Structure 1
Amino acid sequence: MGSTSENWGGRATLMVAHCAGMVDLVALPVWVGVLISGYGLDPQQAGGLATLFLIGAVSASAFVAPRSNRMPARAVVTAGFAVAAAAFGGVGLVNDYAIMALLHLTAGLAAGTALSLTHAAVGRSGNPHRLFATVGFALGVFAVLFMVGVPKIVTSVGAPALFWTFASVMAFAACVAAIGFPDTRLPTGRTHGTNGKLPRAVWLAAAGISCMALTQAMMFAFLERIGADRGYGTAAVAGVLIALGFVNLIPAPLAAFLQRRLNPRTVLLCGPLLQAVLALLMTQSQSFVPYAAGAMFFAAVMIFTHTFAFGLLAALDPSGRAVGATPAMVMIGAAVGPILGGTIVKLSGYSSLGFAAVLIAACAVACFLPRRSDNVVPARS
């Protein structure tokens, strides 16, 4: 029997592909921190490199998502991760900023292509909400392993080790995809609505998710730097990052458990507000405990909210086009986040990041307010 999103072979492949494609969500604090401390870049330059990766992912997703029904998913996903592996391996071998920028962009284009087809496959499953929660839990496990191991490797080996780690992750995902990426043909009974315009609610939800992703990336990119520059100590900040990884194991399973107990629209309205509160905790306090509390739960809010958003979008558009564009939705905000955050820090300091988060949260809430999606019930398996 071939690999599909309804058997565990296919699901395991989707977990690996999701972890590799969403590596920025896990690694951004370490990524920007290493570029600053290991390569001597200023916050704006470091944020700019991360932004180039995300711009590449956004561009690829925007191109791939409308065509995902017609693409040979296994071959394209395998090739995408293989190219990303080569690009990140190249970053670990050079010091020239222009070459690093080109390789970051290339890695983003390749990984974004693979991730878009991965999310399209998840969206065409029998229960997209639950499967997205499953791959989200896998990302949480990956985050713990990453935060426990990679900073120590970078300290021992040097800054390039971070990019060699990225290359290894992408190469592993390419091998797994080549062996077992699932059949992404639409299940019987879900072939309607594969053409034509997407509902207005889809576009508004996408804009709201992008706003949340902007806040996530803007804050998350400088989470480690805020702690380090305020003198909390390397060990304490590293402990926060590890604790953050363990906390991130919770939101995806919790979102799956609460799938039919919470109204998706309520979750979408509350998510940006909680993001803003945690951002203020991190940036306005000069003591460690509020900073640590905000930092540990910050990414969890995005994971939990995005799981409900993914299930809702899959119900609004059964073709998988909308959820196939998930990397574009998430990363168009995330692409702006690091360089916007770096610019704000450079001009006004870390405290200004919290006020920017409040303004962006207001925009996200405005996008999620329309009621057209209220009657949509996620598919049951």
Structure 2
Amino acid sequence: MVKSSESWGARAALMVAHCAGMVDLVALPVWVGVLIAGYGLDPQQAGGLATLFLIGAVSASALVAPRSDRLPARAVAAVSFAIAACAFAAVALVKTFALMALLHLAAGLAAGTALSLTHAAIGCSSNPHRLFAIVGFALGVFAVAFMGAVPNIVAAVGAPALFWTFGGVMACAACAAALGFPTARPRTAAAPAAQRGLPRAVWLVAAGISCMALTQAMMFAFVERIGADRGYGAAAVGGVLIALGFVNLLPAPLAAFLQRRLNPRTVLVCGPVLQAVLALLLTQSEAFPPYATGALFFAAVMIFTHTFAFGLLAALDPSGRAVGATPAMVMIGAAVGPLLGGTLVKLAGYSSLGFAAVAIAACAVVCFLPRRSGDAVLSHS
């Protein structure tokens, strides 16, 4: 029997699937740090491997999203997560950069397929904003557990333990999807709409979210390295990473509480500005308190803003196509982030990341600003 996305069994499956598919949002600092410190890669190479995973996810989402309402969602999601689990487990067994690169790409393709179906199912629920906030809260809980346990496991066992952990997370998601994944069905009869192009407002929101995702990945991939290279100490940096996991528990429930109280357009415009301010705190100060402040709240801004953007996109396109492409719009920015960040660090140091974040934030604000033709749409809640 196909479960509705309104049942708690299906919601639990979607929570696990969201956590697995969005593992990069949680793990990038540890991921890039382990590739540099544990495998001896330079920042550009380490960022490049993470970028390959994200490129795979973007490519899969772009292919799957337009077909999300026609695919057997449960079977495809379960098989895709299983493939991602195998790919990450294989990364733990290899040493050569070329094989690691190929396996990262394969894992991204598989995880992106499953995540696209996950977001399409969420978008077809009765209240996509609220359900996305629920899975966002689950991601925050996952982040606390991940940051509290995985760095210590890696330190004790070795760098491959990170990829065994990734494999285990994907395997859990495969099981959850097989047992409870709902079939993504539109909230309304949207067949005629599927024949039309998406509204211009959708593309503007998607472009702005991609810009924010670019900044998120570019900065967050090097949070751990910035702290380590500036001599703050492993204990202090580790404490910040654990604390930010607890901070990330707050934005999704807060976004759900404020769903009817804040104008989505206002949230979307303010998000990139605050993101840029935190990036400057992270990169331009040599003192620990500004670094810690920037790190603690950096991912929270993206989670809060993205929840409002997801609800808005689901309202603009009830067919689920727009939200099914969420991995593509998020990860097309995030895919470039680690490689761009690694290149900037290699050429001009960590301070260059802050200036790049300001420039990207300006582009995001331009995308989110109201226009006479789309103001009413962008204000929709």
Q: Taking structure 2 as the reference length, what is the TM-score of the superposition? A: 0.98
**Shift of residue 273 of structure 1?**
0.2
Asked if the contact 1:316–1:376 (Cα under 8 Å) also holds between the matched residues in 2, the reply is no
Q: How does 1:111-150 map to 2 (within 5 A)?
A: 111-150=111-150
Report the residue type matching 2:361 in the other structure: A
Q: Give the residue type in structure 1 aligned to 2:376.
A: D
Deviations 1:13-68 (A, max 9, x none): 00000000000000000000000000000000000000000000000000000111
Match in the other structure for 1:222: 222
Identity within the alignment, %: 79
Q: Is residue 240 of structure 1 aligned with residue 240 of structure 2?
A: yes
Measured in 2, the distance between the counterparts of 1:189 and 1:132 equals 22
Aligned length: 379
Deviation at 1:69, TM superposition (A): 1.0
Alignment of 1:100-111 (within 5 A): 100-111=100-111
Tell me the SS of whatever aligns to 1:346.
helix
- Residue 305 of structure 1 deviates from its aligned partner by 0.1
Task: Tell me how far 1:184 sits from its aligned partner.
Answer: 1.6
**Letter of the 2:341 counterpart:** G
CA distance in 2, matches of 1:374, 1:359: 27
User: Which residue of structure 2 lines up, in the alignment, with residue 268 of structure 1?
Assistant: 268
Partner SS, residue 71 of structure 1? coil
Structure 2: distance between partners of 1:86 and 1:244: 29
Shift of 1:377: 7.1
Question: Contact between 2:55 and 2:108, CA under 8 Å: does it hold in 1?
Answer: yes
The answer to whether the Cα contact below 8 Å between 2:370 and 2:378 also exists between their aligned partners in 1 is no
| Cα contact 2:265–2:378 (8 A) shared by 1 | no
2:219 alignment partner AA:
M
Mapped partners of 1:329, 1:285: distance in 2: 31
Which residues of structure 2 form unaligned runs of 5+? none
Distance 1:187 1:345 in 2: 46
For residues 341 and 375 of structure 1, the distance between their equivalents in structure 2, rounded to whole angstroms, comes to 34
Bigger shift: 191-200 or 281-290? 191-200
Corresponding letter in the other structure for 1:149: A
Amino acid of the structure 1 residue aligned with 2:17:
A
Is the 2:202–2:316 Cα contact (8 Å) retained in structure 1?
A: yes
Match of 1:374 in 2: 376
Distance 1:192 1:235 in 2: 57
Q: CA deviation at 1:4?
A: 1.3
* Conserved 8 A contact 1:194-1:318: no
Task: After TM superposition, list the pairs within 5 Å mapping 1:16-27 onto structure 2.
Answer: 16-27=16-27
Whether the 8 Å CA contact 1:129–1:378 is kept in 2: the answer is no
Aligned-residue offset at 1:189: 5.5
Name the CA distance, whole Å, in 2 between partners of 1:301 and 1:111. Answer: 24
Once residues 287 and 333 of structure 1 are traced to their aligned partners in structure 2, the CA distance between those partners, rounded to angstroms, is 29
In structure 1, distance between residues paired with 2:67 and 2:351: 42
Shift of 1:192: 5.7
**d(CA) in 2 for partners of 1:370, 1:96:** 49
Quick one: distance in 1 between partners of 2:172 and 2:323? 24
Q: CA deviation at 1:194?
A: 2.9
Please give the per-residue CA displacement for 1:76-122, whole angstroms capped at 9, x wherever unaligned.
10011000000000000011000000000000000000000000000
- 1:374 & 1:229 partners in 2: Cα distance? 47
**Who is 1:332 aligned against?**
332
What amino acid sits opposite 1:81 in the alignment?
F
Aligned mates of 2:376, 2:144 — CA distance in 1 = 35
Give secondary structure in 1 for the equivalent of 2:370: coil
Residues 249-260 of structure 1 mapped to structure 2, 5 A cutoff:
249-260=249-260
Q: Which residue of 2 aligns with 1:207?
A: 207
The structure-2 alpha-carbon separation of the partners of 1:122 and 1:377, relative to structure 1 and needing over 3 Å to count, comes to farther
* Aligned residue in 2 for 1:60: 60
The answer to whether residue 156 in structure 2 is matched with residue 186 in structure 1 is no
Structure 1 gap segments, 5+ residues each: none
CA distance in 1, matches of 2:276, 2:41: 28
2:21 aligned partner, one-letter code: G
Residue 307 in structure 1 maps to residue 310 in structure 2: no
